[in-house]
């Protein structure tokens, strides 16, 4: 048996010289993946002279906060302060996350542990909807938003983000792992579906909730479509839209490249920080993502 | 009086029963799902048979939009369809295999260092669309101050600066390259988790049964044991590729991009829908796209689905 064990190189505890090949490949690839991110970080801190230096430099030599200051001042010139876009983004993103978690976990609980007519079909349809490409139906969605009368309101940022098949899917798969006995036991004690959902289920599926929250955050934080398609009022538009227009305009202004790099960082950093902090929980719930 | 009490209690009981019904749990999502996924698809299909300019009411035109699309729209036929398929066929499978290969290697290094690699490899997938403009436009800039041009000229590989983003032949490979760079997202994480959760005894048994090398191990043990995650990864890969729109325009700095290089079906739909306000025609384009997405998913279900 020990001979066999030594052949299995899978999920090892320690570094071993067998792994050198993997480390070499992974290291080179990681460095390569990281390169553009290192570049944008450096670019964001470059003073004007370095941004336009010839020969071009990759790393910043004299780091400065000039580009960050420029971003704040620049917004003042466009009439609406940057803080307004930040508020819009934070406000809508928070609501989207909370509502998505609530709606998705409720539905996932029903689809996983309750029995009702049409459950099987609904599960199938939802799994099929994983392949749904929202961008493809931008036009009908625009018509629906207009007819609902929520065009040009915060709701137009929020509502279209709430149907998230992947969220239901992840939560349902995770809930399937919770033993039925546990739920039966609580029901014996007189708990109704709501109490089981709230007191038993939700605490047990925290990793999956975290993952759905992260995915929702990414989708909502980076969503510029709702601002460009469902909004006319500039003061209701969100940060990614504003950053996009900044970047588009930045071609015309001298320090544009640095400004754009800062904008890129503002959109990217929250995403990756959240993932780093919560990656354990994410990996936990990812184990149950399989489609059968 | 007594009757009233009983009635109240009965009402209370039936209220609780109603509140506790499974349909109460599923209803909010089912409503949103119908409103935001089912209805848009239905509206797209419906509108695709009409002429609709958003001002006047839609006018039924039968299959006219589809006939125009497949017989007269040279941009759609020569660029949008072929670009989308070319891009999807390259980015989808290559990104997918790369994700599996990376996950497979990651599953064989210790936990702590694996976490670091995983975060780095995953990070490009959350950079967002602004990154495309900022990083790649600067790196691939067409004059001699562009980073890539400068380095290549310094190493004497090219003599003249290349117009990376303005020439159609170079623009599409660059788009594919960028897409691959950013494609290690949720699907990749799922595959990694799937790999890590394979029961170790499966491998032990296989080695006792006479599996001789790592290739056999991958094909006889690893992939069959994580088929569900493989399918999830494939579905994610497909959505990722069909979600791409406007990249070519962003990179080349104008819509449409030079000679419609990298012009996707989604770009075509948005162009007709939101620039020309020909919603009926744009919907027909959308329907074709949805059909292609379904087709691709069918193929991956065939490959990785567990047949009942």
Query: Cβ–Cβ of B22/A33 closer than 8 Å?
Result: no
Chain B residues whose beta carbon lies within 8 Å of the beta carbon of residue A8: 200, 203-204, 207
> Of B296, B271, B130, B270, which is closest to residue A136 (Cα–Cα)?
B270
Selecting from B20, B29, B203 the residue whose C-beta is nearest the C-beta of A194 gives B20
The answer to whether the beta carbons of residues A286 and B192 sit under 8 Å apart is yes
Chain B residues whose beta carbon lies within 8 Å of the beta carbon of residue A36: 124, 127, 131, 135-136, 139, 181
pLDDT of residue B210: 82
Tell me how far apart the alpha carbons of residues B21 and B12 are, in angstroms, rounded to a whole number. 14
Query: Cβ–Cβ of A192/B20 closer than 8 Å?
Result: yes
Place B209 in a pLDDT band, splitting at 50, 70 and 90.
confident
Selecting from B33, B282, B297 the residue whose C-beta is nearest the C-beta of A139 gives B282
Helix B39-47 to helix B279-304 angle (10° resolution) is 130
pLDDT of residue B307: 58
Place B289 in a pLDDT band, splitting at 50, 70 and 90.
very high
Query: Cβ–Cβ of B289/A116 closer than 8 Å?
Result: no
pLDDT of residue B20: 87
Task: Report the pLDDT averaged over residues B224-229.
Answer: 88
Q: What is the pLDDT of residues B232-286, one digit of tens each?
A: 999 888 888 887 777 888 888 777 888 888 899 989 998 998 889 999 999 999 9
CA distance B70 to chain A (A): 19
In chain A, whose CA is at the least distance from the CA of B266? A136
Query: Cβ–Cβ of B109/A23 closer than 8 Å?
Result: yes
Strand partners, B50: B60
CA distance B82 to chain A (A): 17
Domains in chain A, ordered, with CATH?
80-286 (1.10.3720.10)
Chain A residues whose beta carbon lies within 8 Å of the beta carbon of residue B192: 283, 286
> Of A88, A100, A107, which is closest to residue A213 (Cα–Cα)?
A100
Is the predicted pLDDT of residue B227 greater than 50, yes or no? yes
How many CB pairs lie under 8 A apart between chains A and B? 302
Selecting from A140, A218, A257 the residue whose C-beta is nearest the C-beta of B126 gives A218
CA distance A205 to chain B (A): 17
CA distance B267 to chain A (A): 10
CA distance A79 to chain B (A): 22
Tell me how far apart the alpha carbons of residues A51 and A56 are, in angstroms, rounded to a whole number. 8
Mutation target among B33, B104, B122 for the A interface, most CBs of A within 10 A: B33
Selecting from A33, A102, A260 the residue whose C-beta is nearest the C-beta of B133 gives A260
Chain B residues whose beta carbon lies within 8 Å of the beta carbon of residue A222: 128-129
Query: Cβ–Cβ of A163/B35 closer than 8 Å?
Result: yes
Q: What percent of chain B has pLDDT over 70?
A: 98
Tell me how far apart the alpha carbons of residues A141 and A149 are, in angstroms, rounded to a whole number. 12
Query: Cβ–Cβ of B22/A114 closer than 8 Å?
Result: yes
Is the predicted pLDDT of residue B299 greater than 60, yes or no? yes
CATH of B70-304, one of 1.10.3720.10, 1.20.1530.20, 1.10.760.10, 3.40.30.10: 1.10.3720.10
Q: What is the ipTM of this complex?
A: 0.89
Query: Cβ–Cβ of A54/B207 closer than 8 Å?
Result: no
| Chain mean pLDDT for chain B | 88
Tell me how far apart the alpha carbons of residues B265 and B84 are, in angstroms, rounded to a whole number. 6
The answer to whether the beta carbons of residues B151 and A56 sit under 8 Å apart is no
> What's the length of chain B?
308
Q: What residue spans define the domains of chain B? A: 70-304
Task: Report the pLDDT averaged over residues B181-196.
Answer: 92
Selecting from B36, B235, B289 the residue whose C-beta is nearest the C-beta of A160 gives B36
Query: Cβ–Cβ of A138/B270 closer than 8 Å?
Result: yes
Tell me how far apart the alpha carbons of residues B123 and B185 are, in angstroms, rounded to a whole number. 8
Chain A residues whose beta carbon lies within 8 Å of the beta carbon of residue B282: 139
Residue entry with tokens 């109704």? A192
Residue entry with tokens 């209805």? B39
CA distance A157 to chain B (A): 13
The token pair at A183 is: 């739920």
pLDDT of residue A251: 63
The answer to whether the beta carbons of residues B290 and B48 sit under 8 Å apart is no
Torsion of CA A63, A69, A74, A76, to 10 degrees: 180
pLDDT of residue A2: 47
Task: Report the pLDDT averaged over residues B65-75.
Answer: 93
pLDDT of residue B7: 77
CA distance B87 to chain A (A): 16
Chain B residues whose beta carbon lies within 8 Å of the beta carbon of residue A106: 25-26, 28-29
Q: In chain B, which ranges are continuous DSSP H helix?
A: 2-19, 22-33, 39-47, 64-71, 74-75, 81-106, 111-122, 129-131, 137-139, 147-154, 168-181, 186-196, 200-208, 214-216, 223-225, 227-242, 247-252, 265-270, 279-304
CA distance A160 to chain B (A): 6
Query: Cβ–Cβ of A139/B279 closer than 8 Å?
Result: yes
Selecting from A39, A135, A244 the residue whose C-beta is nearest the C-beta of B130 gives A244
Task: Report the pLDDT averaged over residues B74-96.
Answer: 91
Query: Cβ–Cβ of B231/A107 closer than 8 Å?
Result: no
pLDDT of residue B19: 84
Q: Which residue has the higher pLDDT, B166 or A200?
A: A200
The rounded average pLDDT for each run of 10 residues, N- to C-terminus, in chain A (292 residues) is: 56 78 92 91 89 83 88 71 89 97 97 94 92 84 92 94 93 92 91 93 93 94 90 90 80 70 90 93 86 77
pLDDT of residue A284: 86
Residue entry with tokens 């117009």? B163
Selecting from B118, B119, B190 the residue whose C-beta is nearest the C-beta of A289 gives B190
Chain A residues whose beta carbon lies within 8 Å of the beta carbon of residue B94: none
């Amino acid at each position: 048996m020990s001979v066999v064990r030594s052949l299995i190189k899978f999920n090892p505890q320690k570094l071993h010289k067998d792994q050198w090949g993997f480390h070499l490949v992974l290291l080179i690839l990681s460095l390569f993946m990281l390169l553009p991110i290192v570049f944008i970080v450096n670019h964001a801190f470059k003073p004007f002279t370095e941004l336009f230096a010839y020969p071009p430099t990759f790393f910043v030599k004299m780091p400065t906060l000039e580009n960050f200051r420029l971003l704040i001042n620049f917004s003042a010139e466009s009439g609406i302060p940057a803080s307004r876009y930040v508020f819009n983004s934070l406000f809508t993103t928070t609501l989207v996350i909370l509502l998505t978690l609530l709606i998705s976990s409720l539905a996932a609980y029903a689809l996983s542990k309750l029995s009702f007519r049409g459950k099987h079909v609904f599960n199938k349809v939802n799994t099929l909807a994983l392949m749904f490409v929202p961008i493809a139906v931008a036009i009908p969605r625009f018509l629906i938003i207009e007819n609902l009368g929520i065009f040009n309101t915060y709701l137009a940022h929020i509502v279209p983000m709430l149907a998230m098949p992947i969220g239901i899917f992840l939560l349902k798969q995770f809930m399937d792992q919770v033993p039925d006995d546990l739920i039966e036991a609580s029901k014996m004690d007189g708990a109704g579906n709501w109490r089981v959902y709230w007191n038993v289920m939700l605490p047990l599926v925290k990793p999956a909730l975290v993952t759905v929250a992260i995915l929702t955050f990414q989708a909502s934080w980076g969503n510029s479509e709702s601002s460009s398609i469902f909004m006319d009022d500039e003061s209701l538009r969100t940060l990614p839209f504003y950053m996009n227009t900044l970047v588009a305009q930045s071609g015309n202004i001298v320090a544009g490249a640095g400004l754009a790099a800062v904008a890129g960082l503002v959109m990217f950093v929250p995403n990756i920080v959240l993932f780093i902090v919560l990656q354990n929980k994410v990996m936990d719930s990812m184990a149950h993502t399989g489609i059968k | 009086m007594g009757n009233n009490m009983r009635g109240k209690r009965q009402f209370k009981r039936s209220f609780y029963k109603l509140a506790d019904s499974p349909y109460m749990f599923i209803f909010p999502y089912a409503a949103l799902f119908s409103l935001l996924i089912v209805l848009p698809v239905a509206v797209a299909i419906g509108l695709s048979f009409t002429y609709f300019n958003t001002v006047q009411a839609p006018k039924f035109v039968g299959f006219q939009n589809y006939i125009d699309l497949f017989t007269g729209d040279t941009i759609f036929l020569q660029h949008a369809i072929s670009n989308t398929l070319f891009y999807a066929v390259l980015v989808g499978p290559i990104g997918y295999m790369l994700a599996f290969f990376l996950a497979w290697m990651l599953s064989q290094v210790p936990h702590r260092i694996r976490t670091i690699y995983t975060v780095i490899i995953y990070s490009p997938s959350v950079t967002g669309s602004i990154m495309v403009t900022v990083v790649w436009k600067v790196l691939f800039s067409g004059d001699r101050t562009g980073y890539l041009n400068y380095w290549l000229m310094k190493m004497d590989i090219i003599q003249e600066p290349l117009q990376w983003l303005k020439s159609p032949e170079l623009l599409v490979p660059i788009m594919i390259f960028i897409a691959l760079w950013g494609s290690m997202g949720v699907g990749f994480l799922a595959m990694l988790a799937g790999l890590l959760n394979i029961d170790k005894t499966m491998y032990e048994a296989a080695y006792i049964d006479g599996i001789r090398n790592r290739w056999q191990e991958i094909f006889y043990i690893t992939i069959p044991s994580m088929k569900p995650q493989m399918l999830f990864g494939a579905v994610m890969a497909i959505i990722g590729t069909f979600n791409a729109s406007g990249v070519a325009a962003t990179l080349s700095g104008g819509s449409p991009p030079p000679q419609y290089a990298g012009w996707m079906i989604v770009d075509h739909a948005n162009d007709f829908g939101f620039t020309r306000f020909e919603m009926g025609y744009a919907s027909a384009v959308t329907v074709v796209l949805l059909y292609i997405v379904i087709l691709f998913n069918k193929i991956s279900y065939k490959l990785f689905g567990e047949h009942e």
